[in-house]
């Protein structure tokens, strides 16, 4: 695994061979597999040459080598930018070359070209495109329009607002500001980019109504909606100005609809906010308004959807937690989980077993094997080989991961083994 993306009810990831994989909700064709069927297992969409991915609520974007922009899924507001309002369940090329970065909000899209120009398309009802209009009452545009001519280096898109950085490290914002997500000290929407911070901003992330950013000293700052504690300041109060949450050592950030994730320089994963579906991965379903450490180290990338979260570890393995009603966790079930679950193995990976408490005295066993191989789970009350009793068999998925849910019972002190079978 090299990159991950999530926003609504689906997930995307890239492998090191440049292949694009996805799982979850496909009601609008956002998985790009030519159907409108959800899937609860990762499926390959493009075999090679993908360099970047972004997930909106019901649409997806990706870049190919050479800078071509491709899109699929919902197009009700024109967020695909193809000049129509028709959904598509197959990737279609929107821009042929020179695109360097992409971002997908709930129903709008942003991209950068190699000259530093910012382009936007889709829903503009709150001014989130930043073009100075709300499109004469139509509130959208279905083709890319240039917003800023040069010097833009990073973009982020949320529910109804957008952020971007310029080459001087300044932070700019536009769109919905009902809860202070723009951080300008007001609650007034704006349909033109306005400068929020003058310099030293290095990373940005946008949720539905809240925003996160990092400064060059590694400090984490937040603003906006906080009813679920997603700002992590110890309160449930909204704020319309940037507020510092962590003073140093933060290296990456991600914002779900109502929850937030960040990484520290030691590879530890921290979370805060809404946890109704277990998206914080702390083993509970309780919200928290303070950062909580979930993984102690080795995390290299994070992504957050509506009610689920993804993380990559330094061995290239993909882990997930949270809402799984549409199969967005990719574990072959539709069951939510409130702890990180292994979906695709890293390197080396083979013959690893991970145990995870799953409520009561039950556990979930995750085994990393060879993709497509049939494995059996056996139980014994002692280690004498003649006493092994087969329990069930299953096939390892495309990533080599096999999950046995609620199988071992720790209260009986059983021994368990996993073996390949014909």
Q: Is 385 helix (H, G, I), strand (E, B) or coil?
A: helix
pLDDT of residue 296: 95
DSSP letter for 297, please: S
Mean residue pLDDT across the chain: 91
Phi–psi pair at 314, nearest 5 degrees: -70, -5
Structural tokens at position 374: 């049939």
Q: Is the pLDDT of residue 359 over 60?
A: no
- Listed residue (59, 62, 25) closest to 45, CA to CA: 62
pLDDT of residue 410: 56
Give 381's pLDDT tier (boundaries 50, 70, 90): confident
pLDDT of residue 387: 72
Q: State the pairing for strand pair 299-304/288-295.
A: unpaired
Distance of alpha carbon 70 from alpha carbon 56, whole angstroms: 13
Distance of alpha carbon 60 from alpha carbon 103, whole angstroms: 9
More confident residue, 284 or 393: 284
Look at the pTM and tell me if it is higher than 0.75: yes
Q: Which of 90-104, 158-172, 319-333, 337-351 has the lowest mean pLDDT?
A: 337-351
Find all residues with CB under 8 Å of 35, minimum gap 6, and list them. Answer: 26, 29, 89
Q: Is the pLDDT of residue 355 over 90?
A: no
Region 238-254 average pLDDT:
98
pLDDT of residue 334: 96
Distance of alpha carbon 32 from alpha carbon 259, whole angstroms: 27
- Counting Cβ atoms within 10 Å, is residue 317 exposed (0-12), middle (13-18) or buried (19+)? buried
pLDDT digits (tens, 9 = 90+) for 194-214: 999 999 999 999 999 999 999
Find all residues with CB under 8 Å of 359, minimum gap 6, and list them. Answer: none
Structural tokens at position 273: 């906010």
Q: Is the pLDDT of residue 421 over 80?
A: no
Q: Is the pLDDT of residue 362 over 90?
A: no
pLDDT digits (tens, 9 = 90+) for 141-198: 999 999 999 999 999 999 999 999 999 999 999 999 999 999 999 999 999 999 999 9
- Counting Cβ atoms within 10 Å, is residue 105 exposed (0-12), middle (13-18) or buried (19+)? buried
Using CA atoms, how far residue 8 sits from 270, 287, 296, 303, in Å, is 21, 19, 27, 11
């Amino acid at each position: 695994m090299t990159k991950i993306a999530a926003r609504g009810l689906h997930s995307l990831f890239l492998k090191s061979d440049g292949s694009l994989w996805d799982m979850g909700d496909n009601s609008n064709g956002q998985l790009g597999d030519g159907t409108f069927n959800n899937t609860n297992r990762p499926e390959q969409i493009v075999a090679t040459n993908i360099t970047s991915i972004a997930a909106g609520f019901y649409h997806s974007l990706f870049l190919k080598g050479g800078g071509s922009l491709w899109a699929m899924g919902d197009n009700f507001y024109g967020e695909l930018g193809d000049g129509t309002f028709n959904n598509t369940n197959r990737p279609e090329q929107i821009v042929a070359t020179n695109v360097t970065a992409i971002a997908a909000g709930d129903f709008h899209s942003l991209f950068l070209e190699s000259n530093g120009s910012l382009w936007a398309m889709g829903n503009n009802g709150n001014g989130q495109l930043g073009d100075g209009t709300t499109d004469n009452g139509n509130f959208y545009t279905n083709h890319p329009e240039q917003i800023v001519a040069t010097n833009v280096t990073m973009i982020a898109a949320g529910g109804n607002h957008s952020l971007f950085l310029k080459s001087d490290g300044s932070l700019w914002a536009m769109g919905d500001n009902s809860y202070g997500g723009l951080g300008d000290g007001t609650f007034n929407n704006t349909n033109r980019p306005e400068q929020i911070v003058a310099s030293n901003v290095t990373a940005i992330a946008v949720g539905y109504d809240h925003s996160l950013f990092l400064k060059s000293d590694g400090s984490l700052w937040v603003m906006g909606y906080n009813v679920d504690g997603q700002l992590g300041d110890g309160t449930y109060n909204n704020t319309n100005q940037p507020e510092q949450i962590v003073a140093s050592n933060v290296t990456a950030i991600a914002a779900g609809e109502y929850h937030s994730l960040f990484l520290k320089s030691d590879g530890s994963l921290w979370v805060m906010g809404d946890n109704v579906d277990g998206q914080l991965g702390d083993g509970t379903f309780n919200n928290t308004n303070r950062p909580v450490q979930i993984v102690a180290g080795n995390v290299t990338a994070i992504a957050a959807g509506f009610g689920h979260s993804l993380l990559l570890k330094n061995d290239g393995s993909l882990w997930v937690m949270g809402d799984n009603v549409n199969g967005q966790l990719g574990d072959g079930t539709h069951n939510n989980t409130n702890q990180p679950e292994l979906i695709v193995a890293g390197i080396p990976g083979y013959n690893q077993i991970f145990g995870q408490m799953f409520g009561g005295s039950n556990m979930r066993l995750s085994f990393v094997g060879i993709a497509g191989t049939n494995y059996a789970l056996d139980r014994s009350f002692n280690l004498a080989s003649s006493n092994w009793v087969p329990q069930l068999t299953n096939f390892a998925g495309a990533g080599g991961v096999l999950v046995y849910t609620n199988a071992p019972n720790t209260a009986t002190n059983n021994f368990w083994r996993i073996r390949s079978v014909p």
